[in-house]
Structures are given as C-alpha cells and as structure tokens.
A and B are shown apart, each in its own frame.
Chain A
C-alpha cells in the first residue's frame, strides 16, 4: 500500500549558465507514494511560490516517457533509481519515509546548465541535423511489404529507434561520450534498406559533428547502456564503429 512519506530534498540551484550553483535543502511532508517524481517537484514548487520564493526550474513535457525532455540526476542515477524508465515515469514508491533525495542536473561539458536542473541539450539536435535526410522515391504510395526486411533487422532497428534523445547516456558517462545516442541514431537507419543509401555519409557526418561538439571518446564502460531509459544496447556502438571504419576505409 502506498503511504504518505516525509522527505528531505537536496536540489541543485543555479541562477544561470555562468553563475555558481549550490545545493538547497527542502522538507516535504505527507507526499503520497502514488505521486510521480515530477508531481512531487510540482508540489514543492507550489510550496515555494506560496512562500514567495523562486520555483525550481526543470525540463519536462509529455510525462509519459516518449519525448525525452525530462532529465534529472537523482541519487546518483540519471532518471533516478528505476531501470528502463525516464524521470517522468518514476514514482515516489521508490523512496522511503525520512529519506534524503539528491537531485542534480546532467553534468557534462556538452550539456551546460541553463538554470537549476535544466540543461542545454541542443548539441544532440545538432548531431541529428548533421545526419541529414533519407532519400525516398517519389510517386505513388508503395505497396506494404514491397521491401523485404528480416524480422531480426526490423527488431534491431526498432530497438535503436526507441532512443528519445534525452542525454542520460552522456550524463552517465565518465568520458562525457555521446556514442550511445549517436550509435542508436545511425543504427536505426543503417539496418534498413531505406537507410542504406546514405548510411556511410550519415555515419561520417554524425561522428564528425559529435567530435566537433567536444563529446568524449567512448571507452566501453557501458554506464550509458545501464542507465538508458530505453535500454539502448551498446552493440549499437559496435555497429557505429563498424559503419564508420568501413566508410572511412572505402574513401
């Protein structure tokens, strides 16, 4: 049964990108465990507004695990202690009465803090943009199943396409590497015949953009995979290495 719990929150507060931040401690009483983590923050913000204080800034949108807007590094884990779930899918039943919960923003040079818990993840959008478009033949709508794709490939492509671009991979990585994200985006297209046309160019362009933006070099620690809310596999990173090395060797 869900109970009402009292918790202590240690929240990172930072006025702006250049400002020095620090932790603020807040007490919350009688939070029902059926409440979601973000609703708990809403309750805290309401309390802060009523006290005439600045509410805590944090990113969120869909609140159902599909948009990739929510972030938050909760008790040492991106997207909190749950596995295979985003912060918005995290519920207070994961926490106990009297617990202290530490909430931090993503900390990686690629994701500078905008304010409080909100970080700038535009770098990921730039990498996607560098990937470019996929060529399709114009004309009538093609018949369903006109292009044969093996079940195995279709499944792998779908799994890679589950990436929501949240940035937890780089946030979890001690090397500040974006390889899990980039490899998912390269894989979802490289695995399918429709994506093969530009596959080599796409891999080269996205890796070049990733390097240019200053993300780190992957050393296969697998922290990204363990923390990814969509369970993206590091085997995608092996595929990206393969695609990239082959593309470069062919040049």
Chain B
C-alpha cells in the first residue's frame, strides 16, 4: 500500500493528520473566545460537549489524529536519521532561507505534547473523563464543582496564577513555531504549491500561526487578570 510504504505516502499521512489538528485548534480557540465574554455561555458549550456520545466519538477521532501524527513523526524522524547516516559534518551552517522551525519539528512537537498532557490532566481528565467515570462532582481546591462547569475550572487554574499562565504562554510559543512551518509544509506535501504560491503560503502560514497563538495567549492573559467573562466589564453575566 503506497500510503504506508512510500515516502510521499507517509508524508501525506503526516500532512493530513497535521491539517486535521490545525482544524481542531481553530475550533478550540473559538470555544475559548466564548469564555472571555460569558461564563454561562461557555458552560453551555461544556455541557453540550460533556459525555454525550458525539462528544466522546469526537474525542476518540481527535485522539486518533494525535496518535497518528505522533507515531509518524517518530517513524519519519527515525528513517531520516538513518538516511542521513552516522557521519556528521564538522562544520555546518544553516543556509539563509531555511527556517529554524523546519529543522526542529520533532522537538517542537514534543514540547507541544508535554504541555498538552498538563492541559489534559487539568481539564479533560477532570471533566469528560470524570463524567465518564460517573462522577457528577469533582474537587477543585477544596470546592466541589460540576465537571461541566468549564468556567469554574478556568477561574481555578488561571485567575491570579502566574506560573500556569506563563507555562501556557511557553506552550503557545512552541506551537507557533510548529505551525509557521507546519501549515505551508502540509500544503506543499499535498502538492498544492508552485513558484508563485510558495511565498504566499509561507506568509499565510505565519499569519495563521500568529493569529491562532495570539488569540490563545490574549485569552489566557485575560483569564489570569480577570477570570472567565473578563473580556467585558463587570456588568456582564458571570
């Protein structure tokens, strides 16, 4: 099967799983925007995405996307190291025009997944997973809250907590580097590129990565300062 055996096929799997993860990021960031404006609306989204079968199915598909992407990241990297051979150049220089991110995708990906594990342990494990285990209340710092009350989780973790906030910002920075290269590279792998579009895709890639990561970062900082619903004034429903 060419998809699994050929280099271009394996790259295609990498590209499509990467684009799928990008799609998920877009969905996730839109969800966070809701929480900036209204805790109630955000909790509604959380309730909607509780332990319903479609949310669980969606989570499984997403997990599969992550797993495929990660497995192929390691397969490709290992094959490439072998193809490169054991002999290293004594002097090597990164040529002008080669992005740093493009040569460090695995490291960036590993940073992204480590922070993602922290994130899952904070949210998913205590929300969807807790509900699947039949818990209708989870303990957050001494208080019992509903696992569907996403806003309570956000306030608990972020409001006034500088360590968690900074950790999340580092996470977005690694993601930014991964995406600036990943986005156009995925398009290129699909064959959807030419001499004219090359620089356009690279530019779109940078803009896209910046917008996604900046929105995530701004929202995180708002949560740190004002908590959920902190995007509008105190008159907002909270």
Contact = CB atoms under 8 A, between A and B. Distances in A.
A244 B5 CA distance: 13
Interface stretch (B82-90, B158-166, B171-179, B219-227): B82-90
Contact of A217 (B76, B89, B194): B76
B6 interface: yes
A24 B97 CA distance: 32
Given A217-B76, A217-B80, A234-B198, A102 B10 contact: no
A238 B194 CA distance: 7
Interface stretch (B28-36, B123-131, B134-142, B182-190): B182-190
Given A241-B189, A245-B12, A77 B87 contact: no
Nearest to A159: B195
Contacts of B144: none
Contacts of A116: none
B24 interface: no
B60 to A, nearest CB: 27
A217 B191 contact: no
Given A76-B93, A219-B185, A234-B198, A207 B83 contact: no
Interface string A92-116: 0000000000101001111000000
A239 interface: yes
B195 A174 contact: no
B98 A222 contact: yes
A220 B102 contact: yes
Nearest to A74: B91
A111 B200 CA distance: 35
B221 to A, nearest CB: 33
B92 A76 contact: yes
Interface string A219-241: 11111011100000111011111
A37 interface: no
A73 B89 CA distance: 9
B97 A219 contact: no
Contacts of A68: none
A208 interface: yes
Count class of interface residues, chain B: 35 or more
Count class of interface residues, chain A: 35 or more
B8 A245 contact: yes
A34 interface: no
Contacts of A129: none
A115 B198 CA distance: 39
A53 B193 CA distance: 52
Contact of A216 (B9, B80, B90, B198): B80
A233 B195 contact: yes
B152 interface: no
A110 B95 contact: no
Given A76-B91, A222-B97, A241 B195 contact: no
A235 B216 CA distance: 33
A227 B105 CA distance: 21
B80 A176 contact: yes
B7 interface: yes
Contacts of A189: none
Nearest to A248: B2
Contacts of B83: 108-110, 175-177, 214-217
A9 interface: no
Contacts of B9: 248
Contacts of A221: 98-99, 102-103
Contacts of B92: 76
A15 interface: no
A175 B10 CA distance: 14
A245 B93 contact: no
18 contacts: A77-B95, A107-B89, A175-B80, A176-B85, A177-B7, A215-B83, A216-B7, A216-B80, A219-B80, A219-B105, A219-B185, A221-B98, A221-B103, A235-B193, A235-B198, A238-B188, A245-B8, A248-B2
Interface of B: 2-3, 5-12, 76, 79-80, 82-85, 87-99, 102-103, 105, 181, 184-185, 188-195, 198
Q: Which 5 A-B pairs have the closest CB atoms?
A: A242-B191, A216-B83, A176-B83, A109-B85, A76-B93
